[in-house]
Amino acid sequence: MAHNQQTSAAREVHGTAKELAAHVDDLYDGAVALRRRLHEWPEVGNHLPNTRDAVLASLEDLPLDITLHQTTSGIAALLTGGKPGPTVMLRGDMDALPMPEDTGLDFSSRTENIMHACGHDTHTSMLATTARLLAERKDQLPGRVLFMFQPGEEGHHGAKFMLEEGLLDVPLLADGSASPIAAAYALHITTAIPAGWVTAKAGPIMASSDTFEIVVNGKGGHASEPFRTHDPVPVACEIVQALQMMVTRRIPVFDPTVVTVTQIHTGTTSNVIPETAYINGTIRAVSESTRTKVHEHLQRVAEGIAAAHDMSADVSVKIGYPVTVNDGPSADFGMEIADALVGAEKSVRLPNPVMGAEDFSYVLNQLPGAMIFIGGTPDGVNPASAAPNHSNRVMFDERAMKTGISLYASLALRTLGVRLS
């Protein structure tokens, strides 16, 4: 009996995903057009006026209750179904990166030194297209879908600002009943996996991301007389080396961290020993306990080494995004739908987290849900050699958006309990 129930459930999920995929083709050209418009005119940070206008134009004929956020260019668009039920939230990020584009695409960025190098233009287009797809099925929905169009993912904490402004305060239904948010999902395209593939995992899926600064304070002087100075340069070098040893000797290998020094600045000329040396870098971890340990050890190492040389070190850590932790049942649910949508051979459970960071972590700290990756490697390109996300040459196979739209819509409908015939 249990086996028959599992088989029946699998068929229901399969039918939902496959039927939706058949309708995506009709909307694909519009999705591509929106994506290319966004790609040509990228914007950075939390204030994206042109991007917001493009998204609103794509939604204007749909039966959505739209809230424009004031602290950012965030958009919350609520689709209310014909029957009472819970709410599911779908997130798409909208911002680009401050970098040049060298792809040679016909629709390359027209804004100097700004590029959609992480695929957020595809996310936004997929989410807007999903809103259209689900709006056509409005009367079938036993509940609501909240579409979160989010700015500022690339280090600007856009999700945090939207949450603080009341994103999750979903209004009551017309009859006065509540419609709580049952789950939240976000998709992210990547060239690290082939187009048409889907990957995720339960538990930590992306790392936290903090930055640190260390200023070594010495005493400057003439380069010919270092004994009359307190030279901060070799001390800074010693600290950088010691941080790598700290990682391997103080942090458990199965609860890892990545500490990367990306800048060392000091001095003005060849015959002057400077008074200070500046070190900058990032800290990534996949648990809050390791994250805290690294903060403590980093300060101890820097201050201790500086003191050993009669100097001091000022250490500061700027807190960034938390660890992105997928709710186990939500991640499993999403991958079951992916199995049906793309086939089990293209639906892969990740064995380990990705060490990049995501501000969808703020959402998952408050709601059950999952971050899911979709493949976007261009046709005929090996993912191992493809230009990665954040590269000035990265390109995505736009056909991957079909997978994303179908997956977004399937996640929403199945969360609300819709069974399509």
Kindly list the catalytic residues. Answer: 321, 398
Closest to 154 measured CA to CA, from 89, 192, 98 = 98
List CB contacts of 172: < 8 A, sequence separation 6 or more.
178, 179
Tally of CA atoms within 13 A in the half-sphere of 139 that contains its CB: 0
The pair of three-digit structure tokens given for residue 42, joined into one six-digit string:
């990228």
Tell me if residue 279 falls in helix, strand or coil: strand
Is residue 314 within 8 Å of 250, Cβ to Cβ? no
DSSP assignment of 190-222 equals: EEEEETT-EEE-SEEEE-EEEEEEEEEE-B-EE
CA-based nearest residue to 298, from 276, 325, 318, 321: 318
Ordered DSSP codes for 40-108: HS---SS--HHHHHHHHHHHTTS--EEEE-SSSS-EEEEEE-SEEEEEEEEEEE---BSS------TT-
Helices and strands per DSSP (H, E), number in the chain: 9, 16
Q: What is the distance, to the nearest Å, from the Cα of residue 290 to the centroid of all Cα atoms in its chain?
A: 21
The amino acid at 113: N
